[in-house]
Amino acid sequence: MTHAARARRPLSRLAAGAATAVLLLAGCTGAAPDGEGPADPDGSVSSVPSTDGPALEEIGTSAAQDLGTDPAEDPAYAEYYAQEIDWGACDGVEGEDLECGTVTVPLVWNDPQAGDIDLAVGRLPASGERTGSLVTNPGGPGGSGVNFLESATLMISAEVRAAYDVVGFDPRGVNRSAGVECLDDEETDEYLAATAEPGSAEAEELSEKWGARIAEACEAHSGEELPYLDTYSAARDMDVLRAALGSEQLDYLGYSYGTYLGASYADLYPGRVGRFVLDGAMDPSLTMNEIAAGQAEGFEHAVEAFLADCLERDAACPFTGTEEEAKQQLTDFFAALDESPLDSGDPERPVTGAMARTVVTTLLYEDALWRLGREALTDAMKGDGAQLLNIADLSSEREPDGSYRTNSTFAIMAVNCLDHPGLADDDLVQQEAERLEEEFPTFGAMLGGDGCTHWPVPPLREPGPIAAEGAGPIVVIGTTGDPATPYAWAENLSAQLDDAVLLTFEGNGHTAYGRSGGCIEEQVDAYLLQGTVPEDGMTCGA
């Protein structure tokens, strides 16, 4: 659910998680599957009814969830845990101080003889007296942790970077780490531009078409890996990385989806949790449909805040009238581009309604980008879509030569479809889609369903709270105006964890550390550097 752009670009803040979360929006269309689902990796199928609500689609079992023994103490995994990273030059990553290497992990955690995956790892060495390694995850799922290091100096304080080697890695299935391969670049262009009015019959047809096409392509090119890209497997991988770094405990900073990965690690290895910061928290107890509903509401509030701010600026705003009138003007603009795409200066790539919606959701991740949004929308409403196209390309990590820097567009699907089951009843899925469209008219119709109808592997994890008893204290951070990981999710995760404190940033945008103006940074830095646990419930911001 969140960060994937480039360092030192106008959207560099998004390098930690916004773009990939926008892709979650694009993937959450279509209906949940019905009937008997495919088998899980060990051949079994289990139907897991919800005890608190409607039944969920059938759920298999992660190969990494229950191993019976601690792999770090099991001779079958000794070769993995004995690794040391051979650090060297980085390929395709900017930053003269960065170093890169690999760590090898089992493809199938409950069958270490079934083959390996090499994970790409990078580090920004401590600039001062080193105290340890701080492992980071920028979000997504699908965000490249190695690429994130390009933006580490913008996100992580100089004091923390002086004391820690800041370490990033591409989780399994992402980019350089056995990255999922699906559509080629031209097909990806076509997919991201495909447009129709959300909620319409045409949109349903597009969702079916692309859902089937992507699933078929992913299975054809990466079918061997697809069943093993869930977050429990990635969390097991992080423990091998911890050992390879020479750390007895894992110190960790996770943004957005990185909070789900971090909480999953704490669930598996509570005794190895060091100083943990989970910013822009996900709630592990939610279904795919509940995640979609939370984001639909979050983005509706965020667009209202953006438009209210815009209207206060008079001539600088392309919208007029009341906030409701401005919202209608925006949705009318999207609909017009569904019918007639906008000239972008590139005759081969006009801006479609789908692309424009992605741009606006991207800009809602960071209120510092709202000025850029006003300017791009002003130009677009005058007939010039060049800025919208540029932002869309930054969001999807599309390079000027037409290639895509990472596979985040498809990695997010591969992981989410394993991690988050949706409702089993098609009628309930449709009713929920109609509710979201009515209550959250700007983006709600984009979020109906669970996006995994055609996925070739069933979900492998039942939604449920994480307590991580014996770990902690863990610092959980929520932002009150966060569109992608609503503040209530941070409240829920901090309440579920056995030992956690909640920090609140009152502001707009996604996540807080590195963008709160100092108040959250001060608390987090004291925790990471001195072990000073913040006061539970501390609030700061606007």
Instruction: Provide the annotated active-site residues.
Output: 256, 482, 510
Q: What's the half-sphere exposure (Cβ side, CA atoms, 13 Å) at 412?
A: 31
CA distance 139 to 311: 32
Beta bridge partners of 165: 133
Sheet holding 132-137, edge to edge: 99-106, 116-124, 164-169, 132-137, 250-255, 273-279, 474-481, 500-508, 539-541
Residue 64 DSSP symbol = T
Q: Which of 460, 510, 520 is nearest to 281 (CA)?
A: 510
CA distance 332 to 447: 19
Query: What number of residues does the chain have?
Result: 542
CA distance 402 to 189: 8
CA distance 146 to 159: 21
- The continuous run of DSSP H or E covering 495 comes out as helix 487-496
CA distance 202 to 335: 13
Alpha helices in 223-365 (DSSP H): 231-244, 257-268, 288-311, 323-339, 353-363
Sign of the C-alpha dihedral computed for residues 67, 71, 74 and 79 taken in this order: positive
CA distance 211 to 454: 6
Q: Which of 511, 390, 540, 528 is nearest to 143 (CA)?
A: 511
Q: Which of 119, 510, 466, 7 is nearest to 298 (CA)?
A: 510
Strand-pair category, 116-124 with 99-106 = antiparallel
Residue 96 CB neighbour total at 10 angstroms: 5
**In terms of C-beta density within 10 A (0-12 exposed, 13-18 middle, 19 or more buried), how is residue 425 classed?**
middle
Angstrom distances, CA of residue 433 to CA of 26, 330, 423, 452, 490: 14, 21, 12, 15, 25
